[in-house]
Each structure stands twice: as structure tokens, then as C-alpha cells.
């Protein structure tokens, strides 16, 4: 290792001609299994060092609580131009009760222009369909936590095994627009 140039270098002579440039722990094409293990060990060591530095920064220079709240408030505005899907049907309000049936799923219908989102909320999760079907990404929003992505198939159907707890909304991203449903309590 040549300390004069500031980085690990194994050269045959001082000017580097005929030498193989190799950074420590980095596997080059054609290197064997031992070099790959060194590269993986170096990545693991880097990850460990990064985590230790994060913990030290959290103790020695924590982020002020007010700054965290400002960041959360600013992030809430990132969908400011999103269309709001209007609730057009809620089985708690609009459906007729059926005698003798317990644990009835809640049915919801949202509409934003020509797009309709039908949702069934149960204790086991939720499922629904976007009409007309098309490519879309759906996220279940539930407060300040991270949004949970939900897969949408080619027919616009989607399911989530995690039942929403507390207030929730759906964020639907199509190719051209973002649509957010009204917030509801499960």
C-alpha cells in the first residue's frame, strides 16, 4: 500500500505503469472468490461504520424536535396538486342493514373525474378495484408513518393484508396524475 498517494495502490513501480489498479476490497473483473469475499467484507464494514456514525450523531447532535415537525409538515404538501377523490358511497351510511349478519365489510366508492375506486375494508385488510383499469400504483396512507404500497394488477384490482388502523386514505398514482381519497376511519 502506497501511503504517499492517499489511497490503497499496489503498483509494480513508482509511476504505476504495468501495475494493476485495485482499490482495497473491491473485486475487479476476473478476480477470484477471495477478492469477492474481501469486497463483501468491506461493504459490511462500511455499513457498520455508517450505523455507528448515525448513532453518534443522534446522541451528540440530535435533530431538534421542531425541525422534525417542520419536515413532516413540508412533506405533507408534496401532493398539494393531487386531485381529491370524493366519497360517493359508504356502506356505513348509504347501505341498508341486513338482519343477522355480523362483521359486515365496509364498502367505499370514491370518484375523481372518470376514475372510480371501489374498496372493501375488513378486519383482515382491504381489497378493491380501480375503474377503468390501467397502470397505477396505490399507497395506503395512515398518519405520519410510511405509506404502504399495494400492488395493482392489469384489471385494476388490489389487495392489502394489513387492515388500516385509525385514519387512512389511499394515494393513487396513474401515469399523468396523483389522486388522493378522503381520509376515513376504518
Q: Note the pTM of the prediction, 2 decimals.
A: 0.55
So what's the pLDDT on residue 79? 64
> Residues 165-174: pLDDT tens digits?
778 888 888 8
Of 15 and 171, the one with more pLDDT: 171
So what's the pLDDT on residue 119? 92
Q: Is the pLDDT of residue 128 over 60?
A: yes
Asked if residues 156 and 129 have their Cβ atoms less than 8 Å apart, the reply is yes
Q: Is the pLDDT of residue 1 over 50?
A: no
- Alpha-carbon distance of 151 to 159, in angstroms, equals 7
Query: Which grid cell sits at 168?
Result: 387512512
Q: Is the pLDDT of residue 8 over 70?
A: no
Q: What is the mean pLDDT of residues 107-135?
A: 89
Q: What is the mean pLDDT of residues 10-26?
A: 48
E strands present in the chain: 83-90, 106-112, 115-122, 125-131, 137-141, 148-150, 157-160, 167-173, 178-181, 184-185
CB atoms near residue 39 (< 10 Å): 17
So what's the pLDDT on residue 18? 46
So what's the pLDDT on residue 174? 82
Amino acid at each position: 500500500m502506497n501511503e504517499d498517494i492517499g489511497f490503497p495502490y499496489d503498483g509494480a513501480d513508482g509511476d504505476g505503469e504495468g501495475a494493476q489498479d485495485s482499490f482495497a476490497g473491491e473485486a475487479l473483473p476476473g478476480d477470484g472468490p477471495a477478492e469477492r469475499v474481501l469486497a463483501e467484507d468491506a461493504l459490511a464494514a462500511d455499513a457498520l461504520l455508517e450505523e455507528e456514525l448515525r448513532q453518534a450523531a443522534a446522541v451528540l447532535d440530535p435533530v431538534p424536535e421542531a425541525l422534525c415537525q417542520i419536515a413532516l409538515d413540508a412533506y405533507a404538501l408534496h401532493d398539494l396538486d393531487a386531485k381529491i377523490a370524493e366519497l360517493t358511497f359508504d356502506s356505513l351510511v348509504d347501505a341498508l342493514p341486513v338482519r343477522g349478519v355480523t362483521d359486515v365489510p365496509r364498502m367505499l366508492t370514491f370518484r375523481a373525474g372518470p376514475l372510480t375506486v371501489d374498496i372493501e375494508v375488513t378486519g383482515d385488510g382491504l381489497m378493491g378495484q380501480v375503474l377503468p383499469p390501467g397502470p397505477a400504483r396505490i399507497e395506503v396512507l395512515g398518519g405520519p408513518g410510511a405509506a404502504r404500497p399495494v400492488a395493482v394488477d392489469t384489471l385494476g384490482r388490489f389487495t392489502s393484508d394489513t387492515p388500516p388502523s385509525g385514519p387512512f386514505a389511499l394515494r393513487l398514482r396513474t401515469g399523468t396524475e396523483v389522486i388522493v381519497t378522503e381520509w376515513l376511519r376504518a
